[in-house]
Every structure is written in structure tokens, then in C-alpha cells.
Amino acid sequence: MIPTLQLFLVVSVTLFSIGLLAALSRRHAIFILIGIELMLAAASLNFIAFWRFGPQPRPPTGVMIAIFSIAIAAAEAVVGLAMVIAVYRHYRTTNVDQFDRLKG
């Protein structure tokens, strides 16, 4: 089976959909973070796939962006997890349904 761009895009879309589904439906804050990480990973996969199947040779721009986005995702995970811990200390729960202080 020859890897084609379509195959990568299908995998990427699947990954994104799973991430989105997780972010939208899970009640646990950490699972939502995981969903967001999945969507980020799908985006990075797209960058690399479009770079790999684009006209060659060219500078590795897609790879650079992917590496940057992985670094940013790591930083984002740090911030997100720290927030989850802070919120947990306050609410004694990680169930996002109960974080409704901003309700109008």
C-alpha cells in the first residue's frame, strides 16, 4: 500500500474528529486537554503531509512548523494542567460541568 496524501489527510481528519469529540463530550478536564492535544497533533500531521507531498526539493517549512507547534503544545499542556490543578484546588472536582461560575 503506497502512502498517499489522501491517506494522511484521512488519518489527520480522523485524529482531529476524535480530538474534537473528546474535547466536546468528556466531562473530565484532563480528557478535554488530551482531546485538544489530539487536534493539535492532527494539525501537525497535516503540515508534515502537505510538506512531504509538495514539490521537492524545498526547505523543511512544514517540519519546522510541526516542531514549533509541538513545543507550543507542550507549553500549552503545562499551562492547561496547572490550571486544572488550580481549579481542582478550588472546586475539589475536575468535572467541567460544575465549573459554571461564568453563567449569566
Question: For residues 11 and 20, which CB has a smaller minimum distance to another protein in the complex?
Answer: 20
To another protein, the closest distance from the beta carbon of 7 in angstroms equals 22
How many whole angstroms separate alpha carbon 52 and alpha carbon 2? Answer: 14
CB of 52 within 8 A of CB of 63? no
- Residue 55 CB, nearest distance to another protein (Å)? 25
Q: Which is nearer to another protein, 63 or 77 (CB)?
A: 77
By the criterion CB under 8 A, which residues form the site for another protein?
20, 23-25, 32, 96-97, 99-104
Q: Mind giving me the DSSP string for 36-70?
A: HHHHHHHHHHHHHHHHHTSSSS---HHHHHHHHHH
Closest distance between another protein and the C-beta of residue 24, in Å? 6
Q: Which residue has the cell 488530551?
A: 34
Q: How far is the CB of 85 from another protein (least distance, A)?
A: 17
Identify the CA nearest to 35 among candidates 68, 5, 76.
76
